[in-house]
Amino acid sequence: MASINVGDWKKGLKLEYNGDPYEILEVNFVKPGKGQAIYTTKMRNLLKGTIITNKYRSGDSLEGADVRKGPAQFSFRDGSNYVFMDVASYEQHPLPVESVEERMRFLKEGDTVDLLFWNERPIDMTPPSQVQLAVTYTEPAARGNTTSNVTKAATVETGAEVQVPAFIEEGNVIKIDTESGTYIERVST
């Protein structure tokens, strides 16, 4: 990849630093009275998830990271890995359970995700922003609590638990925000 000058850096840019891919979270520019401009950056390691803060002077540069996103389908869990199938090449890519488990709680087999590749090796997964899942268990609504903002716990078909309004019943299909894990709406079937 080409070298990218610090003046061209912006949030979301992927760079290679100390042999690992990083994503820029913040770039702040300061021009002191004397001397070169200083860029303070906050970057997240895409392999380890750690966040670092560095200072660079104008004229500094880093190599762009060879990363790309591609659609894949969640196939199955194989012991210590979740396995995804590339929708274009049908190639299977494993990702370690510990790196993606929290984001997998609302996904079922066959759901489409975005895989992040670094040097053609899968390193991360982004689930869809919203999913529709059936409620498999919830307590019945208490009489009189069906019109207010009362919530209750509901278990969905993936086994995850979500707080839902009192009027939701077993068998209802609901829309869930996968990032926050919150109920959005009931889906009419």
Domain with CATH 2.30.30.30 in the chain: 3-64
pLDDT tens sequence across 104-119: 999 999 999 999 999 8
**CATH class for domain 3-64?**
mainly beta
Instruction: Let me know if domain 67-126 sits in CATH 1.10.3080.10.
Output: no
48, 123, 147 from 76: Cα distances, Å: 23, 17, 40
Residue 57: which H helix or E strand, with range? strand 51-57
Chunked into runs of 10 residues, the chain (189 residues) has average pLDDT values of 89 93 93 86 90 93 92 93 93 91 91 93 92 93 65 93 92 94 88
Residue 189's pLDDT is 63
CA distance 61 to 56: 8
Domain with CATH 2.40.50.140 in the chain: 67-126, 130-187
CA distance 132 to 186: 9
Q: Which residue type does 14 have?
A: K
Query: 130-187: CATH homologous superfamily?
Result: Nucleic acid-binding proteins (2.40.50.140)
Residue 143's pLDDT is 64
Contact status, residue 160 vs residue 102, Cβ threshold 8 Å: no
Percent over 70 (pLDDT), the chain: 95
Residue 148's pLDDT is 62
Signed CA dihedral, 120, 122, 128, 133: sign only = positive
